[in-house]
A and B are shown apart, each in its own frame.
Chain A
Amino acid sequence: MTLRGLGRGISIGKRCFSSFTEVEKPPMDGKPINLFSAINQALHIALETDPRAYVFGEDVGFGGVFRCTTGLADRFGRNRVFNTPLCEQGIAGFAIGLAAMGNRAIAEIQFADYIYPAFDQIVNEAAKFRYRSGNQFNCGGLTIRSPYGAVGHGGHYHSQSPEAFFCHVPGLKVVIPRSPRQAKGLLLACIRDSNPVVFFEPKWLYRLAVEEVPEHDYMLPLSQAEVIRQGSDITLVGWGAQLSVLEHACDEVAKDGISCELIDLRTLIPWDKETVEASVRKTGRLLVSHEAPVTGGFGAEISASIAERCFLRLEAPVARICGLDTPFPLVYEPFYMPTKNKVLDAIKATVNY
C-alpha cells in the first residue's frame, strides 16, 4: 500500500496529460460485485449527476447483452436511455452530434468487433472536431463503451482487441480497466473528461472478476498508469484481462527468485510514459503483453518509446508477448492467446539475456 503510494507520487509530479488534478486514494471499502455491475453503477451515477447525459446503443433498453445497462431505462426513462437501430456508423455519428451540442453521449457498441463501421466517424469526426473548429465546438462529452477481448469461445467476431487502431489517432483517449473497482472509477472519469474517449471493457471479466467496489461516486485519474506490484528484475506492462495472466506469471517466477514489477497502463493514449520509464530505469528490462496481434499492436509503441528513452539502461531487448498475427481463431484460440506459459518463457529469456 505504502509502496504503491510512492509509485504514484512520482507519476503525479510528472503528470502532464491527465485531466484529473486531485490525488485520489484508491477506495477500499464496498460490496463485492462483478465488472458489469460496476459499470452499471457508474452509468447510474453518470446519469444521476448530469441531466444531459444519455446512454444508447443496440439492446441497451432491456439491460444490454452483457447486462451493463440494467435498470437505466426504467429509472431515467426512454428519452435518456434508448435503443438504436443496427447501424454503428449512425450510432457514432449521432453520438458525436449530441456531444457537439454540449451533451454527454455515452454510446455502446455491442462488441468491439463491430466498431469498424463507426471507425470513420470516430477518427475523422470525433478526434478532429475541436481542432478543426478552432475550439468553437468539441465532442468532449462523447464516450464510446465497447466490450472487447477474448472470451474463450467468441471466435473471429466476438473476441477482437482493436485498441491499437484508435491509439494511432491524435484527439482521442483510449482507456481500458482491469477490474470492477478500476472500471467504475475510470468510466466516470472518461464520461466527465472533456475529450472523446473510447472505453474498452474486457468482456471475459464481466462475470468472472469480482471485487469490492465502493457505492459512492468516485473517479480515477486518466493518463496515469498504476504500479500494481513492485519488483526489481523486470517490468511487465499490460492492460485489461491480460493483467491477471501477468499476475499469475509474476507469482510463478517469484518462486525462481525473479522479482517482477507489474504496471497496469489503464489509459493507452495519452499513455503514462513517465511511470513506465521510471520502472524500466529501475529494472532494466521490459515485457509488454496484450491480446491483440503483435505486429502493429500497442506494445510496439511502448517498446519503441522505451527504447528511445532508456536505450543505455536496457539489459535486454523489449519483449512482446501478444496474440499471433492471424485473424482471431475459433478452435485455435488457446494457441493464439498470450498465455501464462508464453509470458513465463519470455520473462526467463529476458532476465537471462
Chain B
Amino acid sequence: MALGRSFEDMCAQMYYRGKMFGFVHLYNGQEAVSTGFIRLLQPGDAVVSTYRDHVHALSKGVPARAVMAELFGKTTGCCRGQGGSMHMFSAPHNFLGGFAFIGEGIPVATGAAFSSRYRHEVLKEASPSGGLDVTLAFFGDGTCNNGQFFECLNMAQLWKLPIVFVVENNLWAIGMSHLRATSDPVIWKKGPAFGMPGVPVDGMDVLKVREVAKEAIERARSGEGPTLVECETYRFRGHSLADPDELRKPGEDVDFKLCATLPCCIAFGLMCKFFGFFISYIMLKHSSLKGIIRKSKRSGCCR
C-alpha cells in the first residue's frame, strides 16, 4: 500500500514536471482494495484491471521499475513502452491489462476464468494452488451501468466460473456522480439478481477487504462460482492528472481519509501480532510504518 501511494505521488510529480505525458489516472486512496485482494492471489491467478491500473500491477508483483518505465514510454517498460499508463500487461505475472475503455476488461476476465476451469476440469491440468486458478476483474461504479458488466455476470454464474468481480465504487465517473447515474446505486445487490452472492465492504480498510476477498477467492477456487464484491472507496485525486476535479465537494473525502489512516496504523499493529505471514507478502523486514514507507520509496523507481 505504501509502495502504491508513493509510486502514484511520484507519477504526479513527473507528470506536472512535464516528464511524463498522456492520460494518467492515479489510484491514491484506493490502495486497500488492491492490496486486500491481490496479495491473496497465487502466481497462477490472473488480474484484469482498468485504466487506473498502476497499483494493481504493483500488487500483482510487476516490478515498480517496469511500471514506471512503461509510463515514460521506454522499451524497458512492461509493455516495451507501447501500452502506456492505461495498458499495463505482464504475462509472467498473469496481469491481463490495463483497459482504457471501461468494461472492456470484464469479458476478457470472464474468458480467462473459463480457460482456468477448462484447463482444470477438461484437460485435467493440476494447478499449484490446489484448486482452480482464480481471475479477479476490477472495475468502477460507472462501469456497472454498462451492458458488458451485466452480460458477464450472467455468463460467469451460468458456467460457474472462478472469477471475482470487484467493484471499486469511488462514487464518481469523471464528473458524473454514481448516485445520479444509477437507478439503484447499491451495486452489490446486482449479484443476487444473477444468482451469485453480492457483498459490500469498506474499501478503505485493508483488513476488512482481505477478509471478504479471502472468502470470495476460496469460493472461486473450490469451484463454487463467482462473487460480486462492492468496495466502497474514494480517490483522493481527480479522475486523471489532467482533470481540474471541480465537481466533487471539498469535504467529501474527509470521512474516507479518516477511515484510511486509522486502520492503516491499527492494521500494521495487528499485522505484526497475528499475521506474520502477511509481512512476507510485502517483502519488508522493518518493524515500523516509517520503515515500510522508506523501503517502498527506495524500491520504487524514483528518478
Contacts and interface: CB of A to CB of B under 8 A. Distances in A.
11 contacts: A58-B174, A58-B176, A61-B176, A83-B180, A83-B181, A85-B181, A86-B102, A156-B87, A156-B100, A330-B73, A331-B81
B48 interface: no
B276 to A, nearest CB: 42
Contacts of A61: 175-176
B86 interface: yes
Nearest to B181: A85
A185 to B, nearest CB: 29
B146 A153 contact: no
Contact of B84 (A85, A90, A330): A330
A154 interface: yes
A206 to B, nearest CB: 13
Interface string B140-159: 00110111000000000000
A157 B100 contact: yes
Nearest to B79: A330
Contacts of A59: 174-176
A96 to B, nearest CB: 16
A65 interface: yes
B21 A153 contact: yes
Nearest to A84: B181
Interface in B122-164: 142-143, 145-147
B152 to A, nearest CB: 14
A253 B100 CA distance: 40
Interface string B84-124: 10110000000000001111000000000000000000000
Interface string B179-206: 0111000000000000000000000000
A62 B247 contact: yes
B83 interface: yes
B236 interface: no
Contact of A330 (B22, B173, B176, B247): B22
Contact of B146 (A86, A154, A155, A332): A86
A65 B101 contact: no
B180 A331 contact: no
Contacts of B247: 62
Given A65-B174, A330-B81, A331-B82, A154 B181 contact: no
Given A58-B174, A330-B83, 8 more contacts: A59-B174, A62-B246, A86-B102, A86-B181, A89-B147, A113-B101, A157-B101, A158-B23
B282 to A, nearest CB: 31
A329 interface: yes
Nearest to A158: B23
Contact of A329 (B82, B102, B145): B82
Contacts of A83: 176, 180-181
Interface of A: 58-59, 61-62, 65, 83-87, 89-90, 113-114, 117, 152-158, 329-332
Nearest to A59: B175
Mostly, the B contact residues are loop
Contact of A114 (B101, B143, B147): B101
B126 to A, nearest CB: 37
Contacts of B147: 87, 89-90, 117
Contacts of A86: 102-103, 142-143, 145-146, 173, 176, 181
A67 to B, nearest CB: 11
A58 B21 CA distance: 24
Interface of B: 21-23, 73, 81-84, 86-87, 100-103, 142-143, 145-147, 173-176, 180-182, 246-247
B81 A155 contact: no
Contacts of B173: 58, 86
Contact of A85 (B73, B83, B87, B182): B182
A55 B250 CA distance: 29
A154 B82 CA distance: 12
Contacts of B176: 58-59, 61, 83, 85-86
Contacts of A331: 73, 81-82, 84
Nearest to B87: A156
Given A58-B176, A87-B147, A155 B23 contact: yes
Given A113-B101, A114-B101, A155 B22 contact: yes
A61 B82 CA distance: 34
A261 to B, nearest CB: 37
B143 A153 contact: no
Contacts of B81: 330-331
Contacts of B101: 113-114, 157
A85 B183 CA distance: 10
B76 to A, nearest CB: 13
A119 to B, nearest CB: 13
Contacts of A58: 173-174, 176
Nearest to A58: B176
B145 A85 contact: yes
Contact of B175 (A62, A117, A158, A329): A62
The 6 A-B pairs of least Cβ separation, nearest first, read A331-B73, A85-B145, A157-B100, A86-B142, A330-B84, A153-B21
Contacts of B86: 155, 157
Nearest to B20: A153
A58 B146 CA distance: 12
B87 A154 contact: no
B185 to A, nearest CB: 11
Contacts of A62: 175, 246-247
A155 B145 CA distance: 25
A154 B22 contact: yes
B145 A87 contact: yes
A153 B23 contact: yes
Contacts of B182: 85
Given A89-B147, A330-B81, A158 B100 contact: yes
Given A83-B176, A330-B73, A155 B142 contact: no
Nearest to B100: A157
